A and B are shown apart, each in its own frame.
Chain A
Amino acid sequence: MADLKTLEQARELINQCMKCGNCQAVCPLYAETMHEGAVARGKIRLAVDVLEGKLQPSHAVLDKFALCLTCKACEANCPCGVHCVDIILQARAQLAEKVGLPFIKQTIFRGLKLRRLFNLGLKVGANFQAVALKSRREGKGRTMRFPVMGMDMRRVIPDLATTHSRDMFDEYNPAHSGKGKVRAAFFTGCVNNLIYNDTCKAIVEVLRANDVDVIVPKEQHCCGAPVFINGDRNIGRDMARHNLEVFTAADEKYNLDYVFMACGTCVCSFAEHYTHLLHDEPKYLAMAEKLAKKTTDVNPLVIKVGGLQKPLGKVEHVVTYHDSCHLARSMKVTAEPREIMKAIPGIRFVEMKDAARCCGGAGSFSLTHYDLSKQITTKKAENIRSTGATLATTGCPGCRMTIEDGLAQSNVKIDTVHPVALLYESYKNSGVIKG
C-alpha cells in the first residue's frame, strides 16, 4: 500500500510485535468482547494486512481500529515494548484520510474546531440544558432527552457549568502574597472548562497560595486530542497550532516556568502529541518542543512549589484514587496525587482493585461504543464501591465524567473530585486560604 506511507513507517514498530498475545491479559476491551480483533495483537495484524494489501481500507476496518481505549495497558504489559497505541493511531489517521471519518464524527469535530462557536454553543447549552436534558431524580447529572451528536440516551452527563471556568479568572492571577516566585500557565482543557469549575478554582487558588502567578490565556482551545485520536489529523493540527501560538505568546509575555494541566489527555497533547503532529512544520515544531519541556500535570507541580509544606487542615473522608490511563502510563504520574491526599490529616486513603485499569471512558469512545464502555465502567464503579470510600478522586476530568456516570448507573452515591480540590479544602480549614 504505497499511499499508506506513514503506516509503512510504523512497520518498524509492527515488526517488534512477536504475536505472543500477552496483551490479552490486560486489555479491558478483550475482557469484555473476547474478540482477538479488540486487542492490540489483532489490531496490529489488521495494520499488517492493510499494509500488505490483503485488506482494503474501508469504514469497516476503521471501525476495528476505533475499538480501542488508547489506555496503553497493552504497552505496559508488552514484553517487547511495542508502541501499540502509536500503531493504532497511525492506522486511524491513515484510514480516515483515505475513506473519511463517519459522518457523525465529522460533524462533531468540525464543531469542535470553531472555538467561539463551540464555547458559545455550550454556554447557550448550559443555560438551556433543561430543555434538552431531563434531570435525574436522584443525585447530580442529567440524562439525555433526545440524542445529541450520537450520544446514547442513557448516559448521565454532569451539569454543564453555567460559568465557564476560564471566565472565573483574569488572564493574570497573581500569587496571594503578591510576591510570585513561579509563573505557570493553566491549560484547562474543555471538560474542566465547561463542567468542572470546582477543580479549576481549587487549583488556581492552591497555586496562588504557594507563591505562583497563575496565567490563564483566554484564547486557548480544546487540545484537539478527541479529534486527532480519532484520526482527523488535519483538524487536530489546526487546533494544535492554535494552542501553541496562544501559549507561546503567553510564554513571551510572562516568561513561564510551567504550562500545567489537570487533565491526563491534555498533558499528553502538549508533552507528546503536538511534536509528533507537527513534526514537519519547523516553526510549530520548535514551539511544541519548547512548551513540551515546560509541560506538567498539576499534581507534581503542587508538590514542587511546596504545596504540602503549608499548614494542613483536617478533611474527614475515606478516599480512593483512579489512575487515568494517560496520566499514569504516558506521563508516569501515579505517586504524586496519592502523596497529596495521604498528606492531608483526616483523610483515610484506600487503594481500589485495579486502580490503573481504564474507566472505559476514553473520550468519544464512550459516545460511540456506549454499551461496551458501560460494561467497563460498571467494573470500575464496583471497585470503587467496595473500598468503602466516601469520595472517589482522579486526575482527569474525562475519567471523572465517566466514573460519575458509572456510579450513578450503579446507584452508588459517592462524590468525585480532583485530588488538589481536597488540598484546597484542607487549606481553607487551616486558614491558609480564607474560605
Chain B
Amino acid sequence: MSVQQAIREVEALLGKERVLTTVEDLACYSFDGTADAPSQRPDAVIMPKSTEEVQAIMKIASKYKTPVYPRGAGTNLSGGTIPLKGGLVVTFQMMNKILEVDSENLTATVQPGVIIASLNTAVAPYGLIYPPDPGTVSTATMAGSTAECSGGLRGLKYGVTKHYIMGMEVVLANGEKFRAGGKTVKNVTAYDLVKLFTGSEGTLGIITELIVKLIPAPEAKKSMLAIFSDLDDAGKTIAGIIAAKVIPATLEIMDKTTIETVEAFAKAGLPTDAEAVLLIEVDGIPEVVEKEAQAVVEVCKRFNGKVQVARDDAEREKLWAARRAALPALARKSPTTVLEDATVPRSRIPEMLRAIRAIAKKYDLLIGTFGHAGDGNLHPTILCDEHNQEQMKRVHKAVDEIFRVAVDMGGTLSGEHGIGMAKMKYLEWELGATGVDVLRRIKEALDPDYLLNPGKMVAGRS
C-alpha cells in the first residue's frame, strides 16, 4: 500500500493533528460545491503550514506516485477538488496570512488560504480594494479563486482574477519551487508563467504565495433596476449602454423563470410578468457616476424599460438582495441545481437566452437563466433531481446542447467556473484537437505522472 506509506511519511513530518485519516473526516472532503458530480473519498487530508511542508508533501507524493488534490474552500462549481482517483487532498486553511499590504506599489502579498473578503477588509483602511468578487467572497480562498480564475459581479468594468495576479510562488509536482512575476506593473520576462498558472485548476503546480494588484476604491456607486416586457429590448439596452460609452461595474440580467422563482421565495418586489430585468451599477467619481447613471436611465427608457434608481444604501441593498437571491431561490426549488456558465459575445445575449429557452422546452426542463449580461456570461440553471435517472439523461443532453450553441455563437465553455471534470469532453469544440494536445503537452512537461489533480481539465493518455 504505497498510499498508506506516503501518508505515514507525511504524518512523521507534520504530526497526526494535521493529517486527517478517519472515514468520517474523509467523507467531508469527498465533494465540493458542484451539483450532479461523483463523490470520492481521499485517503488523507493534509493541512500544511508552509511552502517547505508543501514541497516535502510533493516529494513524498512523487516518490510513491500518489495523486494530490489542492483544495481551498471547496466552493468551485466544476468538480475541481473532488479526489477522483483517491490519494491526498492538500488544503490551505492554515496558510492564511496576509504577508504584506504595499500601498505604494498597490499590491498585497498573501498566502494561498487567505479568504478573499479578509484581504478586502485588510486593505480597506488604505482606501483600496481587490476587485474580483465571486459570489463566495466570504469563503473562497485566494489560491482557489486564482487557480479557478474566478470572475464575479464587477467583471465587466474590473475584469476577472487573472487581471489582478502579478506574481506567485509555485511548488511543482516533483517538489521543486519557483517564483514568477512580481510587484512591477510591467513584466515581460519570458513566457507569462503567472498567467499560465492562473486558471490552471490545480493541475500544473501548487500555488503557495501570491502577489496581487489592488486598486483605489470607487468613491460613489449608483444602482438601477430596469424591467422589460420584451427580451430584445433588454438586449438592445445592454448594447445601447456600451454604445453610450458607459462601462458599468455591473450589468446583470435575470430571465422570466428566475424572476418568478425569486419572487415566489424571496418576495423582492419584482414584476412577475416581465420577460427580463437588468440590474445595473455604475461607480467611480461622484460627478461621473451621476452623469453615467443618467445616461443609463436614458438608454433603458429608449428601449421601453421601466427604471427604478436606488436613492440610498437601503434601496441599493434591496435591489441587490433580489439578485443575490437568484441562485438560492432556484436551488430551493429542486434537490439538484445544475449551474452552467456558458458565455457568448455580449451582442448575442438575447439570441442565447432564446436558445436556452428552446432547449428547456425541447427536453422538458425548467431552466432559470441569470448572469453577467454585460460580459456575456450567463448562468443557465437547470432544476432537477439527481436521483431521477431519466430526467438526468435529459439534463445532460440539454447541457451538451447549451455548450454547442455557445461555442457556435463564438462564445466559450466557461466564463468563470473552469473546466474541471464535467466540461473536459467539450474542450475540442473550442480548442480543436491540436489545442487539446497543446494542453496535454504542457501538462506532461510539468507533471508527467499526472499526480496533480488527475481527472481534471486534461485527460491522461489511456
Given contacts A20-B33, A25-B139, A79-B324, contact A54 B94 (CB under 8 A): no
Interface extent on A, as a size class?
20 to 34
Contacts of A25 in B (CB 8 A): 115, 117, 138-139
Q: Which listed segment binds A: B197-205, B329-337, B436-444?
A: B329-337
B24 near A45 with CB under 8 A, answer no
A15 near B136 with CB under 8 A, answer no
Given contacts A18-B328, A18-B331, contact A46 B73 (CB under 8 A): no
Which chain A residues numbered 222 to 253 have a C-beta less than 8 Å away from chain B?
none
In the complex, what's the smallest C-beta–C-beta distance from B111 to chain A, in angstroms? 13
Contacts of B328 in A (CB 8 A): 18, 79-81
Contacts of A60 in B (CB 8 A): 22-24
Contacts of A80 in B (CB 8 A): 328, 331-332
Given contacts A18-B337, A21-B136, contact A37 B28 (CB under 8 A): yes
B73 near A24 with CB under 8 A, answer yes
Contacts of A16 in B (CB 8 A): 331-332
Contacts of A45 in B (CB 8 A): 27-28, 30-31
Which chain A residues numbered 16 to 31 have a C-beta less than 8 Å away from chain B?
16, 18-22, 24-25
B35 near A19 with CB under 8 A, answer yes
Q: Which residue from chain A places its CB closest to the CB of B325 in the assembled complex?
A: A79
A35 adjacent to chain B (CB < 8 Å): yes
Which chain B residues numbered 301 to 336 have a C-beta less than 8 Å away from chain A?
324-325, 327-328, 331-332, 335
In the complex, what's the smallest C-beta–C-beta distance from B41 to chain A, in angstroms? 9
A45 to B31, CA, bound (A): 9
In the complex, what's the smallest C-beta–C-beta distance from A381 to chain B, in angstroms? 22
B158 adjacent to chain A (CB < 8 Å): no
Q: Report the tally of A-B residue pairs with Cβ distances under 8 A.
A: 77
A79 to B32, CA, bound (A): 17
Contacts of B332 in A (CB 8 A): 16, 80-81
A22 to B31, CA, bound (A): 15
A19 near B324 with CB under 8 A, answer no
A198 adjacent to chain B (CB < 8 Å): no
A55 to B24, CA, bound (A): 8
A172 to B331, CA, bound (A): 53
Interface extent on B, as a size class?
20 to 34
In the complex, what's the smallest C-beta–C-beta distance from A57 to chain B, in angstroms? 11
A300 adjacent to chain B (CB < 8 Å): no
Contacts of A49 in B (CB 8 A): 27
A164 to B170, CA, bound (A): 64
B237 adjacent to chain A (CB < 8 Å): no
A219 adjacent to chain B (CB < 8 Å): no
Contacts of B115 in A (CB 8 A): 25
Contacts of B47 in A (CB 8 A): 34
In the complex, what's the smallest C-beta–C-beta distance from A190 to chain B, in angstroms? 32
Per-residue interface assignment for chain A, residues 48 to 62, with 1 indicating a CB less than 8 Å from any chain B CB and 0 otherwise: 010000110000110
B228 adjacent to chain A (CB < 8 Å): no
Contacts of B102 in A (CB 8 A): none
A294 adjacent to chain B (CB < 8 Å): no
On A, residues with C-beta under 8 Å from B are 15-16, 18-22, 24-25, 34-37, 42, 45-46, 49, 54-55, 60-61, 63-64, 79-81
In the complex, 24 of the A-B residue pairs with CB atoms within 8 angstroms, ordered by the A residue number, are: A15-B335, A18-B328, A18-B337, A20-B33, A20-B136, A21-B33, A21-B73, A22-B138, A24-B139, A25-B117, A34-B91, A34-B93, A35-B28, A36-B28, A37-B24, A37-B27, A45-B28, A45-B31, A46-B27, A46-B28, A61-B24, A79-B324, A79-B325, A79-B328
On B, residues with C-beta under 8 Å from A are 20, 22-25, 27-35, 47, 73-75, 91, 93-94, 115, 117, 136, 138-139, 324-325, 327-328, 331-332, 335, 337
User: When A and B form their complex, which 7 residue pairs have the shortest distance between CB atoms, in order from nearest?
Assistant: A79-B328, A42-B28, A34-B93, A36-B28, A25-B138, A15-B335, A18-B331
